[in-house]
Amino acid sequence: MVTHFSAAAWREYVHGELSDARRDEMERHLYSCEQCLEQFIRSVEEWEAELPGLPAPHQLTQRVMQRIAPSRSRFWDHVLIRYAFAASLTLLLLASGVFQDLLDGSAQLAQWTATETGVSLTDTLMAKIVSLLETFSRVQDVN
């Protein structure tokens, strides 16, 4: 003889008031009992009726968009202005010779490092970068 679960039991199931074992038993029963499935659906519909009403998705979207205050566009927010500024600054630095001075200084630093320590600047930088990458790798392995 098949035993069915009561409407009260299905309400407790829907509200999450049952133990795990009882919930599992009721779920297994749903696979084979059409009558209990209908009762379960009615319990879910009753529970949904108790919930506060939500607007339709398109209405919700409209309400949210109306509450968002439009932001004022600033002069610097325009991408073209930023690119024009960056290009102008680059041309100014090129014309003034700053980049050439940096290249000359880096060549002198590399030559001085090689004569003082016996190790080239490139080798020193590569060793430090490899050490840094190994540190990051170890930190990620720990996490």
Please write the tens of the pLDDT for every residue from 8-23.
998 899 888 989 999 9
Q: What is the pTM of this model?
A: 0.38
CA distances from 28 to 10, 12, 34, 73 (A): 13, 16, 12, 59
Query: Tens digits of per-residue pLDDT, 65-97?
Result: 888 877 666 766 778 888 999 999 989 988 888
Tokens linked to 16 = 């999450």
φ/ψ (deg, to 5) at 11: -65, -40
Please tell me the distance from the alpha carbon of residue 81 to that of residue 75, in angstroms, as a whole number. 8
Decide: helix, strand or coil at residue 16.
Answer: coil
